[in-house]
Amino acid sequence: MWTWFHRLGSPKWFYEISGRWLPWLTAAMLLFLAVGVVWALLFVPQDYQQGLTNRIMYVHVPVASISLAFFPMMAVAGTVSLVWKMKLADMVVKVAAPLGAWFTALALASGSIWGIDTWGTWWVWDGRLTSLLLQFFLLIGMISLRSALEDGDAAAKACALFSIVGSINVVVIKYSVDWWNTLHQPATNFTADPSQPNGPEIWVPLLLMVIAVYLFFIISVILSTRNEILYRERRAQWVEELVSQS
Amino acid sequence: MVETAAQTSTAQAFLATLKRDLLIAYKRKNDMVNPFMFFLIVATLFPIGISPEPERLSEIAAGVLWISALLASLLAMDNLYRADYEDGSLEQLLLSPHPLYFMVLAKNIAHWLVSGLPVVLVSPLIAYMLSLPEGSFGVLFLTLLLGTPVLSLLGSIGVALTVGLGSRGLILAMITLPMCVPVLIAGTLAVEQTQNGASLMGFLAIEAAMLLAALTLAPLASAAALRISVN
Amino acid sequence: MIQFSSFQEFIEMGGYAFNVWSVYALFTVFLVANLLLPMRRRKQLLRELKRRRIAAEQMQKNTEESARLERAASSLGEST
């Protein structure tokens, strides 16, 4: 088990294995995405309340669900990098922060466009939107912390620690914002909750889209991590060979 | 701290650190007065910027006080480890044989006594000027008393992470302000809900829980962050 | 079952054309950007590393060359 763990920590090993996985992952993502998008846009029946805006759900829900997973994921990777000094884990913490900001921004944008009709405005201080917005700020703070601490090792440790503190904090923020919002206004306006789909014709395409977006997330983490590996290992023999072949 | 480690217990080291930080703050009166004045000025800007009408002010008074306290605590944060970092005494603190948790806690308490407590004490006066309803003075005072230490403890993590940086002001604000949101929510909700007849005890329990959680966890994170930054 | 009887109807999205299509447009931008940016960065990185490698080799050649010249000059000086 430990040899496996150490191999996983080796950037070279990860670079090679991920290079072999990428084509398959990309093919699978494109397949799921194509079927999911076509199904969602063309075949899903209208929602009796929201009409055709329910098509937004098929983008918003997968993206938002992954954005919520970013801080826990960074905290796990950060713990691994702090405890076992695994270089690869720090690279994941590093590349996850900007990617998380992208995902959170899209979740916010699609959520507020969806809300134009349900709520009548672009923005309401809804609990979910507000906590996502705060998470977005924390991610931006994390990116600027990383870029300010130029030194590799100190930046790795500081960002790992911040990801752990941040993930605890995101949970507290989420609960407190929900509490704040439900006390302010009862949740009557926010029945847009799509977590209770009514039948397979609604949730099967959603499942396909969730899988597609998860695959996309994995692919983009792998792509950025490979770049990071190339940069950090630029003096290693195998990178030099790779560079001269390119 | 001149005592040798062999003769001092952790409790003595804790008290010595506390006393030293308070003494330094007393000697440098600016550090003590500035956050306090900043709080007064920010609180004054809101009526000017929004409306001088008592009815509208009374609605926003609690929020204004909380936000001003939050900004004042953020502004004062930089003093927490900066001077010690520059003159090297922070390194000594890290090398001391006592658990860093207690040393960090002592510094945080001293910092709160100097920058947080004056703000809490003057808050009823500002609340009166912002026409906060009579019945809410006690609630606001109590929630500020329980909440501002949490702001100091959370801010301490951010300062410890950024203490070695040249331009740290904005980064510090960006990583600590979102973290302080739950405290802000609990404080302002307590004032608003008790006006509507809710019981105060529930809110005080939540604030106290936040304070206890911050007291136990935040200094650990600050200590770890200091060890990372000072190297 | 396709929910639309004509292409026109599909584009109109039951009056929600703006909402639906802007979200899908943002989604497309997001997907393309997050695939293209790392790929472009990879190209830049490889080019940069290659350039550095060539520069380092060149530098080494230059120092060897100058050392050789120096040796030649000093042996010339000894012989005269």
Pick the more confident residue, A1 or A99.
Answer: A99
Residues from chain B that touch A157, judged by Cβ atoms under 8 A, are 228
Name the residue in chain A with its Cα closest to that of C37. Answer: A224
> Is the model's pLDDT at A187 over the cut of 50?
no
- Mean per-residue pLDDT over chain A, rounded: 85
B171-184 residue pLDDT tens: 888 889 999 999 99
CB contact under 8 A, A138 and B165: no
> Is the model's pLDDT at A191 over the cut of 50?
no
* pLDDT score at A174: 86
CB contact under 8 A, A179 and B185: yes
Low-confidence spans in chain B with pLDDT less than 70: 1-7
Question: Could you tell me the sign of the dihedral formed by the alpha carbons of A144, A172, A158, B94, in that order?
Answer: positive
Pick the more confident residue, B177 or C7.
Answer: B177
Q: Mean pLDDT check: name the lowest of A21-35, A168-182, B64-78, B216-230.
A: A168-182
Chains sharing 3 or more CB pairs under 8 A with chain A = B, C
Domain segments of chain C: what residues?
A: 17-79
The answer, yes or no, to whether ipTM is higher than 0.90 is no
Shortest CA gap C49–chain A (Å) = 7
Give the residue-averaged pLDDT of A65-87.
90
Shortest CA gap A198–chain C (Å) = 17
Interface residue of A108, A201, A223, A241 to substitute, partner C, most C CBs within 10 Å: A223
Shortest CA gap C69–chain A (Å) = 29
DSSP string of A116-136? HHHHSSS----HHHHHHHHHH
Pick the more confident residue, A48 or A121.
Answer: A121
Give the residue-averaged pLDDT of A131-155.
88
> Is the model's pLDDT at A97 over the cut of 90?
yes
CB contact under 8 A, A43 and C3: yes
Report yes or no: B186 at the A interface, CB cutoff 8 Å. Answer: yes
B138-170 residue pLDDT tens: 899 999 999 999 999 999 999 999 888 877 778
Residues from chain A that touch B224, judged by Cβ atoms under 8 A, are 161
Query: Helix, strand, or coil here: C52?
Result: helix
| Pick from C19, C42, C50: CB nearest A53 | C19
* pLDDT score at A190: 39
| Pick from A149, A169, A180: CB nearest B165 | A149
Distance CA B61, CA B46 (A): 9
Which residues sit opposite A50 in a β-bridge? none
Give the residue-averaged pLDDT of A185-190.
41
Residues from chain C that touch A104, judged by Cβ atoms under 8 A, are none
CB contact under 8 A, A148 and B171: yes
Which positions in chain C have a beta carbon within 8 angstroms of at least one beta carbon in chain A? 1-4, 10, 13-16, 19-20, 22-24, 26-27, 30-31, 33-35, 38-39, 41-42, 45-46, 49-50, 52-53
Distance CA A231, CA A233 (A): 6
* pLDDT score at B134: 83
Helix or strand run (H / E) with residue B66: helix B54-77
Report yes or no: B165 at the A interface, CB cutoff 8 Å. Answer: yes
* pLDDT score at A189: 40
Which positions in chain A have a beta carbon within 8 angstroms of at least one beta carbon in chain B? 134-135, 137-138, 140-142, 144-145, 148-149, 154, 157-158, 161-162, 164-166, 168-169, 172-173, 175-177, 179-180, 183
CB contact under 8 A, C35 and A51: no
Domain segments of chain B: what residues?
A: 5-229
pTM, whole model, 2 decimals?
A: 0.87
Please give the DSSP secondary-structure letter assigned to residue A149.
-
Instruction: Assign A198 a pLDDT band (cuts: 50, 70, 90).
Output: low
Q: Which of B209, B219, B40, B14 is nearest to B127 (CA)?
A: B40
Interface residue of C12, C43, C49 to substitute, partner A, most A CBs within 10 Å: C49
Contact B207, B182 (CB under 8 A): no
Name the residue in chain A with its Cα closest to that of B224. Answer: A161
A209-245 residue pLDDT tens: 999 999 999 999 999 999 999 988 888 888 888 888 8
The tokens describing A129, both together, are: 């939107």
> Chains A vs B: touching, with 3+ CB pairs under 8 Å?
yes
Name the residue in chain C with its Cα closest to that of A219. Answer: C35
